[in-house]
Structure 1
């Protein structure tokens, strides 16, 4: 009977794990046509976000300045600061570090509104807070990413290697973010019926298309990508848990009702990963780890959000809350 040697298998496993550490050399290789498609998706996504921007939502948020200020600080200051600690603690590769900071430099996603509804939270507050953070994204997200990545020795390596000039970044922001966002607001005000029809489908469609690009890139580089999923997963999970805990803590400090606490928790813990993905593919296509983190976040935060919403609903049912 032939003897089965496990040595070659162990060598392959060790080589695969070692290859995962070379994730900074891993490119999704989306090609020129896909680069154009990604830029179009950025425009579509930002246009879709703008369709949700309503002046009444902004006014509603401004009626609660303490809550608005606290949630904004949690989203753009506290969570990114804790992320710097996670990056150092996990000793993450540069592209992964940048991906984690990119996710938390962005606004909340509209998925937080759906999850808040399922959790029987304060949907009106959730929508108002999402509107505010989305309206700020065009300016705040690039500045926040540059600031927080500049404080990370790992993430700053990618920024230095890409060497984006301020003029180039400003041009890209105006073209890819500000212009479609302004068009979306104009469309919502001038054609509200049309805006209402296309609004619900924009973000899910873009996210699915982007995840397919990431999955396709991983499939063509399976030996590098697959082992790395296990390597980066704990850091993504820890970051998501911290984000939710920060949101819950801020809600408690604001002394808001239970329904509002749920909205604030989800608003802080659920980010617009579709926006993060399009920015990753547009600015850092040669660093597959950035997009990989954004893709994992897009799956994981929705899963934890639905689980948390289900837990809240079960707790309400057991306590007899309608």
Structure 2
């Protein structure tokens, strides 16, 4: 990374604690992921393939185009690619419901992307960043490699997910009772970490914020619009089009933020991208859902 790029102050102990918190967040998420969420994938193959292409190909591709064509700093570029490589955010399910989209598809896509984030997030990040030579060289300078990132994500993502899904399958009544409080606690914990990190580095964040918010808005908006029309061109039902657009643009930026702190030295531009995306996708997702909710929903095609 370039020497002029500042870093957020975050101790090793805080990073370790944050990874523990991430594991807890994944535990709480998986309590609501059931086997049928994956079996649903088999009955909606075209819609699922469209959604997965939107998440894993379309948004990263849009991001690479933005990073390549516009005067974006290396930190901002890496932050955008990191967020676009993360799994879908759970709030997307609510947005799909509000938009009168395909909620079952939304839940299935969120569950699938969360389940396989331990391998797909690093794989996507390294692949798409390699398409921009300057960003790829920055990643090498940071001494971050695919297997190191994947092995650690196995511990903080996959292991908690599998454990939690086993508990939900074996003792569904307990899982149902615990799921909502655990989710609320995990959101509070993550929010506290983000607030503390930002308060401790307020001056750096203020100095760099004006260079970042507009590029996040542009990338997120392009991803949402392109995903909607991509699904429409493939002749999916309108409810599917809405869900694909939402699932493509609403990503788990909290995970991206934690990975940035853990593997990228708290690079301030990367962290700001993840933080601003986490705020803006709530605005854009709810705005898109509200707009679509008031539009007629055609009968599903046969």
Fold-level match, TM-score > 0.5?
yes
1:244 to 220, 224, 227: 224
Unaligned 5+ residue runs, structure 2?
Answer: none
Asked if residue 149 in structure 1 is aligned to residue 125 in structure 2, the reply is no
Deviations 1:247-305 (A, max 9, x none): 20122123233222221211111111122122222222331222211111000001111
CA change 1:202–1:296 in 2 (3 A) is farther
Match of residue 11 from structure 1: none
CA distance in 2, matches of 1:312, 1:278: 32
Moved more, 146-155 or 208-217: 208-217
2:74 paired residue number: 94
- 3-state DSSP class of the match of 2:33? coil
Residue of structure 2 in register with 1:221 after alignment: 201
What is the root-mean-square deviation in Å for CA atoms of aligned residues? Answer: 2.4
Aligned length: 297
Shifted more, 267-276 versus 170-179: the winner is 170-179
Match of 1:24 in 2: 5
Matched residue SS, 1:231: coil
- The residue number in structure 1 matching 2:292 is 312
Q: Partner residue of 2:33?
A: 53
Tell me which structure has the larger Cα radius of gyration. Answer: 1
Residue in 1 aligned with 2:261?
281
Residue equivalent to 1:111? 91
Using the TM superposition, give the Cα deviation of residue 72 of structure 1 relative to its aligned residue in structure 2, in angstroms: 1.0
Question: What per-residue deviation string (whole Å, max 9, x for no partner) do you get for residues 77-109 of structure 1?
Answer: 121112111112232222221111111111111
SS in 2 for 1:24: coil
Distance 1:232 1:204, change over 3 A: farther
Q: Could you tell me which residue of structure 1 aligns to residue 13 of structure 2?
A: 33
Does structure 1 conserve the Cα–Cα contact (< 8 Å) formed by 2:101 and 2:242? Answer: yes
Shift of residue 39 of structure 1?
Answer: 0.6
Which deviates more from structure 2 when the two are superposed, residues 283-292 or residues 194-203?
194-203
Instruction: Return the match for 1:258 from 238, 246, 254.
Output: 238
> 1:4 matched to which residue of 2?
none
1:82 to 41, 62, 78: 62
